[in-house]
Structure 1
Amino acid sequence: MIKDLGWKVGGAQGEGIDSTQEIFALSLFRLGYYVSTYRHFMSLIKGGHTNGKVRVTSDLTGHHGDDLHILLAFDQETINHNFHELVAGGVLIYDTAIKDASVPENDKVNICPVPLTEMAKEAGSPIMKNMVSMGVTAAIIGLTPEDFRSVVLDKFGSKGDEIVESNIAAIQKGYDFYKENFSAQLELPARPVLKPERLYISGNEAVSLGAIAGGCRLLAQYPITPATEVMYQIIKNFPQVGGTVVQAEDEIAAVMMAIGANYTGVRSMTATSGPGFSLMMEALGLAGISETPLVIIDVQRAGPSTGLPTKTEQSDVYTMMYGSHGEIPRIILTPRSVEECFYFTMEAFNLAEKYQCPVIVATDLYMGMNKQTISSIDYDKFMVNRGKLISDEQLAELEKGAFKRFDVTAEDGVSFRSIPGQKNGRFVAMGNEHDEVGVEMEEPELRVKQMEKRAKKLENFADLAGVSYVGPENAELLLVDFGSITGPQREVYEELTAEGVSVGHLSLARLLPFPAAEIAPYITNAKKVLVTEMNSHGQLKNQLRQFINGDHNKYESCLKYSGDPFLVNEIYAKAKALADSLKKEVTL
């Protein structure tokens, strides 16, 4: 019995790779398995190599897995790029329609040429080769064509019974052909007890659901990979709650619309990626100085500039923490799982209104665009907190023009805000420095008071735990990460723990306010700190050095910036080497 099963399909973009991956993953999900997916694709509509991987397991994971057991190749490039990933005993299925197919010599891998396109034509259309391939896969892993029927019904049921049955027939053709011509078999992991409360969604889908649950009723966005899916999902669901989506002419307009809507009392947000986030810098400062709530989703991709639009990275750390001229309070949340994409986005709207400042939810392409099984999300965990909204009764006690929107006497730095239309609640939310009422001014003493007032907002922030930790209290080796790295790094932690290594795993839930007090004891106790992140400068490691006093020589980086996500073995190799070096020090 294998621990998990890795399956991958590859071909040219526009050849149905995404739909083939989705059919397989969703079918296995409905059978009760846990699945994690990864889509590798290029910035092209058609042409160029693309592939989709599915990891099938008996339990929750946060990673698409290192091992590959079945490779389904629709073209030669798929063999060229992915054959080396197949483990001993793995299976290569390739379409005999590939002219002069070339397969590397490897007597440990089962080679299975199958006339996928030819059988698809016999079933009714060459586009059904993805269904033929499902039948071949089913024959290898002990499933039947009927195990795919529910997904086929969902996908083609509206087109009539004849189309449904032709697709099932295509699956059967592939199944029968493999059974008649090949004998290699692979076992699926143990099938878990089917839990109907599970979900199969991506980080972007979870963000959109979290926004709606958090009370968002306006999304202003300019489409940009990999954040566009957030807009698509909200468009799909907003009609149920009376929300509005505005496709702005650019990212500057989008963020300004979100700021304006929040000013009027409507919970609003925008979603973008690195290039669009860069364009929002001045507006970020406007939200800060005018103390207007704002939620921004940054689905990070590989930069700089246009960079690699369809590849993943975590290189916006500096921009999120320090972007925009001047100094403003801001909150940066870093969900470490698809579930947290939901909960953190939902909570972001409370935080934005409670502290009257920008809140950035930082995900990345890997987490945002790839689906996986998660536990059911709990909408009842959320309670709306609109912060210091002044009531009509409180305003009625004031004289006209006496409302101090930016009152510097507030001990927590957060003043009461009004909503346009409230009598005696009028004020100007401007980008210039201003006095307590909101009138533009340049007096040094008043300027200092307003800056100090805003700076106080997050001094005692305790609304969301800054880190989570597993491991012994005084672990010698400390693994640190944030965001989507938490999934694969947790597997490294578990493997090292099983080997008897004194190791702990610390993952950050937020970058600002930086949780230095929560992190410091673990850093102090550790002999070596391995910070794993997807950028080339070690941006998180540098923040740890800045915010936490101590020996800077104990920090090590595990970096990746190729655009591809980390494999578990890449992190393990670095962590294991550090663990071995610590063991040698003790021996000496």
Structure 2
Amino acid sequence: MGNGMIKEAPPAQQSDPADGLSANDGTIVNDFSIVVATANGTGSQTANMAILRALFKMGIPVNGKNIFPSNIQGLPTWYHIRLSKDGYTARRHTSEILVAFNQTTVVQDIQTLPPGGICLYNADWRSIPQRDDVTYYAVPVNEFIRDSGMKGKLKDYLSNMAYVGALAHLLAIPLERLDDALLFLFKGKRRTVDSNMAVVRVAYEWAAANLTAAHPYRVAPMNETEGLIMMTGNEAAALGAVFGGVTFAAWYPITPSTSVIDALNGYLAQMRRDPATGEATYAVVQAEDELAAVGMIIGAGFAGARAMTATSGPGISLMAEYVGLGYFAEVPAVIWDIQRVGPSTGLPTRTSQGDVLFTYYLGHGDTKNVILLPSSLRECFDFGYMAFDLADTLQTPVFVLSDLDLGMNNWMSEPFDYPAEPLKRGKVLSAADVAERGFARYRDLDGDGIPYRTLPGNEHPLAAYFARGTGHNDAAVYSERPDDWRNNMARLARKFDTARSLVPGPVIDEVEGAEIGIIAYGTTRPAIDEARDRLAADGIATSLLRLRALPINGEVEAFIARHERVYVIEMNRDGQLQTILRAELPEVATRLESLALLDGMPLTARWVVEAIMAAEQDRPRRAPTRREGSAEGATELDLPGDGSLSPGNGLPRGDSGLTDMGHDGHNREVIAGEG
């Protein structure tokens, strides 16, 4: 096959009409996707992260998604990088540029390219499938390694830097940006960076001399990421926990939650040491299993520590009995569930929202649990510390449900705000308080279902109590009396109702007169935001309510009542959130319809658009107006379009008329109770 360009393709055709901005000369700048196909365990993550971070530092909005197998080494892995000048971060269903460095999957990978796509591949391969509508670039990897002077096992791990250098030339990524990115990734280790850059430069210079960039895709500097940060959701969660005052964590390793504790260990080592002695003022324990881990944090919570664990679905299954103890004995704890695909072992390295129903009711008997539902890095951080305040205030385990996509992939964000309020420890009595007012551990003195508690170390003789998982009266004395049981369960229900006013309210973006409502949560947000803009471009108006927590409050029922149809969009098979909403809001349940997808991949805007259009079945629409801002300060914007809706018309076209509005929802969201 030889080196260099193999076959020139016809002009690129956008696989997604709503994506891409073509210049007058046909060049598509900062609006396309790249997929890198390699084998797991070959060191490709560093190469991929170097490209992602270099683009980010060029000011281009980007998002990276690692689609990796559940093994240590050898199986196929794909890394998706999306560039979007408009800042969209959802996964796209196709990528225009393929880096084919896995011979095992090259046949299927090339078939995924749209017409006009390009393919970089290892020139050392003997053959590669041919398509007349794809441009091929052969990259002589072994030649680059030889010319860079790399030897031994190091050369195997640096071979992926060959495609970094070639791609940098073809897309016009400055080498200094790649150098900066590697310096960040290797924490300032100049020697390691130089080894990687040696291969990058050889590949770049070879590409400049031998490859003709016969394709329309280019990058150019922008200013859209200035002041932003990039990290994973698991890192943001760990940092939030530090600001929330965590002093104890117990865990057992499980994908995709392990990096929560890895990051937590790093942050605590920097920020939680006695200034006089340098000794750690925290403890992180790797338990023998998830059952032991949750038992440890329940015990630590009883003792007054702010305690947490991080796990995924199989770990949650093992924790069920202890969670019930925490609920009934009323012990604060924080449990992060980074969701993956189940049931059973399932797909351990793919994303899902499959634990919502399970965690909401986790524990035998009548139990309901408080759940926080982050959708962004900022909310991972905010909920990271807020969860401890809620757990202490409500004296109960609090779940935070993230997922693999948010937790393990890199996202952009505004810098986090330093928490403005002190830690909220809830109703904790001192010895003086007990002396003044007495103490009955499970007595509801305030009518909100939340009793007062004492902590070990309180020296008043009446402060001690049994945190019972067995039947008890309001003084924590063992009891099997029916009235004691009935009263205690009624009080726990009142406490859960109190939680409705304490958890974060939903975020609402409502279009006046829109008949279509959408309810969603978590990482479906990027795809839904983009899909709504596409629908608006065709004059199809939608309103969105994004849940940030369970239990729900009255805003949710009112939102549903204001719309003829409300689609509940989520990443599971059975529409689990819809099940909860139907159970709790029977008067509006008939307006709800589930749009659920579970294939292990993050949602795309295309799927959301097509799912809504198919469900609508060509119903006529009028062109409504969008309410912007709070109810008091609302302004109306005319939306274009004739209001028609054609099922099967894959993707909407046209000018959305929303160029002055933030596609990512920051400018148009109204937080219920805050707007």
Is 1:17 the counterpart of 2:44? The answer is yes
Asked if 1 retains the 8 angstrom alpha-carbon contact of 2:361 and 2:367, the reply is no
Is 1:119 the counterpart of 2:144? The answer is yes
Asked if 1 retains the 8 angstrom alpha-carbon contact of 2:90 and 2:603, the reply is no
Q: CA deviation at 1:36?
A: 1.0
Matches within 5 A, 1:440-479: 440-460=478-498, 461-479=500-518
In structure 2, distance between residues paired with 1:133 and 1:58:
24
Figure out how many residues of one structure are paired with residues of the other and give that number. Answer: 580
Letter in 2 for 1:403: F
2:535 is aligned, of 496, 510, 513, to: 496
Matches within 5 A, 1:177-576: 177-179=206-208, 180-188=210-218, 191-193=221-223, 197-239=227-269, 240-241=271-272, 242-397=281-436, 403-424=439-460, 425-460=463-498, 461-510=500-549, 512-515=550-553, 517-550=554-587, 552=589, 554-576=591-613
Deviations 1:478-536 (A, max 9, x none): 222111111111110111112211211222111x2123x21223322323322221111
Q: CA deviation at 1:186?
A: 4.3
CA 1:93–1:336: 2 relative to 1, 3 Å = same
Asked if 1 retains the 8 angstrom alpha-carbon contact of 2:42 and 2:156, the reply is no
Asked if 1 retains the 8 angstrom alpha-carbon contact of 2:360 and 2:368, the reply is no
Q: CA deviation at 1:244?
A: 1.5
Give aligned-pair identity as a percent. Answer: 33
CA 1:234–1:10: 2 relative to 1, 3 Å = same
Deviations 1:391-450 (A, max 9, x none): 23212336xxx5211113331111111110101221111211212221211111222222
Q: CA deviation at 1:325?
A: 0.8
Q: CA deviation at 1:104?
A: 4.0
Asked if 1 retains the 8 angstrom alpha-carbon contact of 2:147 and 2:202, the reply is no
CA 1:77–1:570: 2 relative to 1, 3 Å = farther
Q: CA deviation at 1:283?
A: 0.6
Is 1:167 the counterpart of 2:196? The answer is yes
Letter in 2 for 1:139: H
1:73 is aligned, of 90, 100, 110, to: 100
Bigger mean CA offset, 110-119 vs 541-550:
541-550
Q: CA deviation at 1:135?
A: 1.3
Report the equivalent of 1:94: 121
2:131 is aligned, of 105, 108, 111, to: 105
Letter in 2 for 1:171: V
Deviations 1:546-584 (A, max 9, x none): 222346554433222221222221111112234462228
CA RMSD of aligned residues (A): 2.3
Letter in 1 for 2:417: D
In structure 2, distance between residues paired with 1:158 and 1:3:
28
In structure 1, distance between residues paired with 2:198 and 2:139:
16
Q: Describe the SS at the equivalent of 1:76.
A: coil
In structure 2, distance between residues paired with 1:191 and 1:160:
25
Letter in 1 for 2:494: K
Deviations 1:30-75 (A, max 9, x none): 2222221111111111111101111123354442334412211112
Deviations 1:215-246 (A, max 9, x none): 11111111111111111111111122132210
CA 1:550–1:497: 2 relative to 1, 3 Å = farther
Q: CA deviation at 1:155?
A: 4.7
CA 1:54–1:520: 2 relative to 1, 3 Å = same
Q: Describe the SS at the equivalent of 1:336.
A: coil
In structure 1, distance between residues paired with 2:589 and 2:383:
31
Bigger mean CA offset, 39-48 vs 81-90:
81-90
Asked if 1 retains the 8 angstrom alpha-carbon contact of 2:62 and 2:81, the reply is yes
Report the equivalent of 2:74: 47
TM-score normalised to structure 2 length: 0.81
CA 1:337–1:94: 2 relative to 1, 3 Å = same
Q: CA deviation at 1:382?
A: 4.5
In structure 2, distance between residues paired with 1:384 and 1:188:
49
Asked if 2 retains the 8 angstrom alpha-carbon contact of 1:10 and 1:17, the reply is no
Letter in 1 for 2:370: I
2:84 is aligned, of 43, 57, 69, to: 57
Report the equivalent of 2:275: none
Report the equivalent of 1:134: 164
Asked if 1 retains the 8 angstrom alpha-carbon contact of 2:361 and 2:369, the reply is no
CA 1:321–1:387: 2 relative to 1, 3 Å = same
Q: Describe the SS at the equivalent of 2:221.
A: coil
Q: CA deviation at 1:328?
A: 3.4
In structure 2, distance between residues paired with 1:467 and 1:474:
20
Letter in 1 for 2:552: F
CA 1:192–1:183: 2 relative to 1, 3 Å = closer
Q: Describe the SS at the equivalent of 1:318.
A: helix
Deviations 1:306-336 (A, max 9, x none): 1111111111122111121122352111111
In structure 2, distance between residues paired with 1:62 and 1:15:
27
Q: Which has the larger share of helix?
A: 1
